Amino acid sequence: MVRKTAVAALAAATALALAACGGDDSGDGGGAAKEDVASVKIGVILDETGIAGFAASEAKKGFEMGIEEANASGALGDTKIEVEYADAASDVKQATSLATQMTRDDEVRALVFGTQATEALSVAPIAQRAGVPTVMIYAGGPGIVETGDYIFRVTAPQVTYTHLAADYLAEQGVKTIGIIYNNDSATLNDLATKVYPELAKERGIEIVSSNGVSLKETDYGQAAGEIAKANPDAVVLLLAGAPNVTAVSALERAGWEGQIMGQPGMAAGALEPLGKKANGIKYPLDFAATTNTPVGKEFVAKWKEKFGTDANTYSAAGYDAALLLVEGLKQAEGYEREQIKEGLTKATQAGIEGAAGSIKFEERDARVPGLLVEYRDGKEVVISD
């Protein structure tokens, strides 16, 4: 009996000691009151290199700008946001490995991922199972946010504003279109095989040629040849970054001339190698540097001053991801993963004002009106919104 009493007393003393240790204010928020937490660690996985490098490198700069502003302004009081970056290199296996590593690191309180949907489809389940709140940037494919309540997306899926492109083509009297798309991109494959066929049918437009090409393919001659043979009124290019230049050049060599409609994979300078040949190409976006939204105009001015270039849809997306994350941290009752998830949930329920304008959310998934731009001498000129 004496032995049992001694053991119980020792256990109680140990519990009290552990509870006292839980109040350590030098860490990243494990159990301490918000005002006593020195820093909150966020893991950021972006495709800084590889096929999506043109997008994620810009998103990273936008995200860094947003976090720097938050820390400088004391958005979280004395608590600073600490960021650990990693490059997924546009590779599903690498993205999966990095996500696994970060979710197993108890100091990482939330994740940010961008920009490829194919990788996000692997990352989201890992984060959901580990209970790590995750903000997605420009991973617009289906089935990502639907993974679970720890997954949030700050950029509206392309499917929600692609109708602007289809409407324009119909208004221009286009009756037939050809499509060239990256069939190993979840977002672009969905647009080509589901979204555009439905939009075209509703508007009386016939798809006379549809050609899927791998992201790694460097020869678009066959696809361009099939397009030229079908001779559609317009061609829709659903390609990520540099392949757009390859495809446009291949269409020219094949002898096809006509209207080209694209998607956000043409942004962030992807068309610059074409020079004036790119003038007149149009594509839908969620943000352009000519924005008139209050936060957007301020962001564009700060970006121009800092980098000497125009902000683009990817830099704006990264910035908005930082704004959403900061708002979620402000709304959270503490900095445990579950608490941050609840804070992000409150933030998305209320919506945020970002570079892309007034961002609303449907089940943690962003929605914006979108706009249609025309490429003119390196500028994205808004032609409808």
Domain ranges of the chain: 34-157+292-369, 163-262
Query: Along the 385 residues of the chain, how does pLDDT read in single tens digits?
Result: 333 333 333 343 333 333 334 334 344 455 668 888 999 999 999 999 998 898 999 999 999 999 999 999 999 999 999 999 999 999 999 999 999 999 999 999 999 999 988 999 999 999 999 999 999 999 888 899 999 999 999 999 999 999 999 999 999 999 999 999 999 998 999 999 999 999 999 999 999 999 999 998 999 999 999 999 999 999 999 999 999 999 999 999 999 999 999 999 999 899 999 999 999 999 999 999 988 889 999 999 999 999 999 999 999 999 999 999 999 999 999 999 999 999 999 999 999 999 999 999 999 999 999 999 999 999 999 997 6
Closest CA to 283 of 247, 317, 239, 217: 239
Instruction: Give 26's contacts (C-beta < 8 A, 6+ positions apart).
Output: 38
Q: For residue 184, with 0-12 CB atoms within 10 Å meaning exposed, 13-18 middle and 19 or more buried, which class applies?
A: middle
E strands, 219-351, are: 234-238, 259-261, 282-285
Looking at residue 290, its pLDDT comes to: 87
Spatial contact of 276 and 256, defined as CB atoms under 8 Å apart: no
- The predicted model scores a pTM of 0.86
SS3 217: coil
Please tell me the distance from the alpha carbon of residue 161 to that of residue 155, in angstroms, as a whole number: 11
Residue (of 375, 380, 159, 131) closest to 275 by Cα position: 375
CATH level 3 topology of 34-157+292-369: Rossmann fold (3.40.50)
User: What is the CATH superfamily name and number for domain 163-262?
Assistant: Response regulator (3.40.50.2300)
Q: In a 3-state reduction of DSSP, which class is residue 334?
A: coil
pLDDT of res. 49: 94
| Fold match, 34-157+292-369 / 163-262 | yes
Task: Report which of 40, 75, 42, 44 is spatially closest to residue 57, judged by C-alpha positions.
Answer: 44
Spatial distance between the Cα atoms of 284 and 131, rounded to a whole number of angstroms: 34
**Distance from C-alpha of 227 to C-alpha of 7, rounded to nearest angstrom:** 81
Q: CB-side exposure of 314: number of CA atoms within 13 Å? A: 28
